[in-house]
Amino acid sequence: MKLTWLGHSCFRVEYDDYAIVLDPYAPGSVPGLAPLDVEADEVLCSHEHGDHGYRAAVRLRPARRPSPFSVTRVASAHDDRGGSLRGPNTVHVLEAGGVRAAHLGDLGCLLNEAQARAIGPLDALMLPVGGHYTIDARQARAVADLLAPRTVLPMHYRTEAFGFDVLAPLEECLPHFDNVLRLDENSLSLVPGMPRQTVVLAYRP
């Protein structure tokens, strides 16, 4: 399974030449990010805000064959008040080839034990860390400790080049995590049994 970070919370997940794009953002919705230019077989969105639910950004391939992915959806909230402020949020768990990866979308609160059981064991966790609209880095670490993935991929943060001003910068988030590996590329290939690590992918417009 190959994970490619396209900026903000948008990932392209590919297995056996089948691709799913998660949380595509609209042009101009995230400061500093170029409009998306991506092709896939399927689009999944955690919620319908413009920086996560802009399906029109993805060019869908003609239907070719059934998806090799098993997809589990786990209901959660975009805030710490049961969704009353910002609405619901859907966690997506993708499984293919013996590898399981979860995308937490704009999770705005800690997960409970029932949600953690529904998500299950993970090889990779795409985890918001920037706070304000989502959990912050301290809470994100607690979620990572609960879910215990082999690889954590931080998302939804700010750098000097991109991101909302209200989000915490990446450099303030990383001290909350262990075994940080910075890659000079935007993709990571997952295989079963990877070492426990936090991987920061590069943004490549």
Per the listing, tokens 């029109």 go with 56
Six token digits for residue 114 = 């029932």
Q: How far is CA 132 from CA 56, 94, 166, in A?
A: 26, 27, 7
For residue 85, the tally of other CB atoms under 10 A from its CB is: 12
Work out the percent of the chain whose per-residue pLDDT is above 90.
90
Task: Give the β-pairing of 2-7 and 187-189.
Answer: antiparallel
Cβ–Cβ under 8 Å, residues 154 and 103: no
The helix (run of H) or strand (run of E) holding residue 31 is none
Spatial distance between the Cα atoms of 30 and 32, rounded to a whole number of angstroms: 6
The pLDDT value given to residue 84: 67
Closest C-alpha to 54, from 33, 35, 79:
35
The pLDDT value given to residue 78: 75
Residues of the chain where predicted confidence (pLDDT) is lower than 70: 79, 84
User: Considering the domain 2-200 in this protein, what is its CATH number?
Assistant: 3.60.15.10
Six token digits for residue 160 = 């000097």
What residues does 5 pair with on adjacent strands? Answer: 11
